[in-house]
Structure 1
Amino acid sequence: MPELPEVETVVRTLRKLVVGKKITSAKIVYPNLLKQPKNITEFENQITGRVIDSIERIAKHIVFHLDDKVLISHLRMEGKWFYEPRDSQTNIKHQEAIFIIDDEMQLAYYDTRKFGTLHWQDEKDFREQKPILTVGPEPFSEIVSANYLAQKINKSRKHIKTILLDQTITSGIGNIYADEILFEAKINPLKCGNELDKDDFEQIIKASRFILNKAVELGGTTIDTYQSAHGIDGKFQNYLKAHTRVGKPCKDCQTTIIKIKVNGRGTYYCPACQIL
């Protein structure tokens, strides 16, 4: 699943390709992709003729700004945006939306799992509506401090791995980076929120910023079927210290990395470095 670093890589790629370009026609191929509005014809008519003014990332969401409207894309498991020649037949059975651009190209959305979403909302108040309304601050935000995490977490009986995946507390962290952050902070994923102290929260913040910045710098992590766009592979998988390394020696202490399930999510950690 694309997480904050992968989505940031997609946004940076798309900015270079489509900002300033006009959409001359639009077609939603897979109706369930468009969550708002429900009227597909209305949406296709409204977006036609608009220029893509800018693109930003909010947590794991891609936000296309088009004058007084925004198109909000969430890639979910395996969604991908491609800028390609018009009428391209690339992986046609997984094509869910096509936006024809005024330079004989098209911006197309593909999704093999069909979990991705699009929301078409007003620019003036989209931050006060779902899906953005419920998104918590990113670890980079000044809002995220030891005190902030203490207020949100220190009475929770949930495991810290599960808490890090809660996008309403802090946003942008998914399964891969939660494992790497907890390894970097030397915190066991099975520890509960009410077992952590101020130093733990500070270590989580420090580790989150370090890991996510490094992953963004390297274009994200390419694991299984995920690529950001246009076949771009991330390089952060070459630096993973916990995630996917079950049975391999810890890079810090040589203890064997183990894999468990935490709230149904595959979780990798070092039992020596991350003592419960």
Structure 2
Amino acid sequence: MPELPEVETVVRTLNSKVKNLTIKKVKITYPNLIKTDISIEDFENKIKGRKIDNISRIAKHIIFELQDLVLISHLRMEGKWFVFDSQTVYDTKHVEAIFELSDNKMMVYSDTRKFGTFHLQEKATFKSQNPINKVGPEPFNSALNGQYLLDIMSRSNKHIKTVLLDQTKISGIGNIYADEILFDSKIHPEKRASALNLEDYERILKSSKKILKRSIDLGGSTIDTYQPEQGIDGKFQNELKVHTRKNKPCYECGRIIEKIKVNGRGTYFCKECQFLY
């Protein structure tokens, strides 16, 4: 699943290709993609003729700013955006939406698993509506600090890995980066959130900012199906310390990296560096 660095890379790529272009026509080929209570015909007509003023991001949500409306795209597991010249022949097998744009461009949304979502909402009020109103602050939020994490997370007796993945508490961290953040902050993924102290949460926040920024700089992690752009891979997977490194030696201590399940999620860690007690 694309996480915060991957979504940020997609946003930057789309801005470089389609910002300020006009949507000439829209075709939705998979109706369940639309989660707003609106007919497909009305959805297509509302967007038609609008200029893409900007593309931004809130956590893992991509925000297309279309004058007084916003189109909110969540990629979920395997959603992808592609930009082609209008004459390009492309694989239509998993295409769910086609946007014909000015300047002889087209923007195509494809989703193998069909879990991705579109919400079309008023720009003035979308932040107070589902899905954005449920999103917690991301690590780069200037108001976020260790005390906030302590206050919001230490009430839970769940494993800290599970709590880090809760997008209502802190947003943008998915499975890959939770493993890397906990390794960097030397905290065992099965440690209970209620057992951590202020210093622990300050380390988690510091590691979150460092690792997410580094991944953004490298275009994210190309693992499984994510690509930031056609034919271009992210590079952060080359710097992963624990994730996907089962049975390989830890870069810090040499002990073999282990893989377990935490709340059903594959989890990689070093038992020596990330002690449980």
TM-score, L = length of structure 1: 0.98
CA apart distance, 1:80:
0.6
Establish whether residue 116 from structure 1 lines up as the match of residue 111 from structure 2. no
1:43 is aligned to 43
Name the SS of the counterpart of 1:177 in structure 2.
helix
Instruction: Tell me the amino acid that sits aligned with residue 117 of structure 1.
Output: T
1:207 is aligned to 207
Gaps of 5+ in 2: none
Do the aligned partners of 1:37 and 1:120 also contact (CA within 8 Å) in 2?
no
Query: Aligned partners of 1:155, 1:104: CA distance in 2, in Å?
Result: 54
Deviates more, 1:85-94 or 1:168-177: 85-94
CA apart distance, 1:104:
1.8
- Counterpart mapping for 1:102-113 below 5 A: 102-113=102-113
CA apart distance, 1:239:
0.2
- Counterpart mapping for 1:41-80 below 5 A: 41-80=41-80
Do the aligned partners of 1:68 and 1:122 also contact (CA within 8 Å) in 2?
yes
Gaps of 5+ in 1: none
1:169 is aligned to 169
CA apart distance, 1:184:
0.2
Query: Aligned partners of 2:16, 2:246: CA distance in 1, in Å?
Result: 38
2:126 is aligned to 126
Deviations 1:20-48 (A, max 9, x none): 10000001010011111331100100100
User: Residues 230 and 209 of structure 1: is their aligned pair in 2 closer, same or farther, counting only changes over 3 Å?
Assistant: same
Deviations 1:84-128 (A, max 9, x none): 122644221100000100122210100111100000000000000
Name the SS of the counterpart of 1:179 in structure 2.
helix
Query: Aligned partners of 2:7, 2:207: CA distance in 1, in Å?
Result: 19
Deviations 1:184-228 (A, max 9, x none): 000000001111001100000000000000000000000112112
Instruction: Tell me the amino acid that sits aligned with residue 62 of structure 1.
Output: I
1:159 is aligned to 159
2:240 is aligned to 240
Query: Aligned partners of 2:165, 2:32: CA distance in 1, in Å?
Result: 25
Instruction: Tell me the amino acid that sits aligned with residue 252 of structure 2.
Output: D
User: Residues 87 and 28 of structure 1: is their aligned pair in 2 closer, same or farther, counting only changes over 3 Å?
Assistant: farther
Query: Aligned partners of 1:91, 1:266: CA distance in 2, in Å?
Result: 32
Name the SS of the counterpart of 1:168 in structure 2.
coil
Name the SS of the counterpart of 2:13 in structure 1.
helix
Instruction: Tell me the amino acid that sits aligned with residue 108 of structure 2.
Output: A
Query: Aligned partners of 1:159, 1:142: CA distance in 2, in Å?
Result: 26
Query: Aligned partners of 1:98, 1:150: CA distance in 2, in Å?
Result: 44
Deviations 1:126-176 (A, max 9, x none): 000011000000011123211111111112110000000000000000000
Query: Aligned partners of 1:21, 1:181: CA distance in 2, in Å?
Result: 38
Q: Which runs of 4+ in 1 moved over 6 A?
A: none
- Counterpart mapping for 1:17-32 below 5 A: 17-32=17-32
2:11 is aligned to 11
Do the aligned partners of 1:176 and 1:243 also contact (CA within 8 Å) in 2?
yes
Sequence identity (%) = 58
Establish whether residue 2 from structure 1 lines up as the match of residue 9 from structure 2. no
Deviates more, 1:222-231 or 1:174-183: 222-231
Name the SS of the counterpart of 2:14 in structure 1.
helix
Query: Aligned partners of 1:264, 1:46: CA distance in 2, in Å?
Result: 41
1:150 is aligned to 150
Query: Aligned partners of 1:96, 1:159: CA distance in 2, in Å?
Result: 37
Deviates more, 1:209-218 or 1:226-235: 226-235
CA apart distance, 1:231:
2.4
Superposition RMSD in Å: 0.9
Do the aligned partners of 1:160 and 1:193 also contact (CA within 8 Å) in 2?
yes
1:98 is aligned to 98
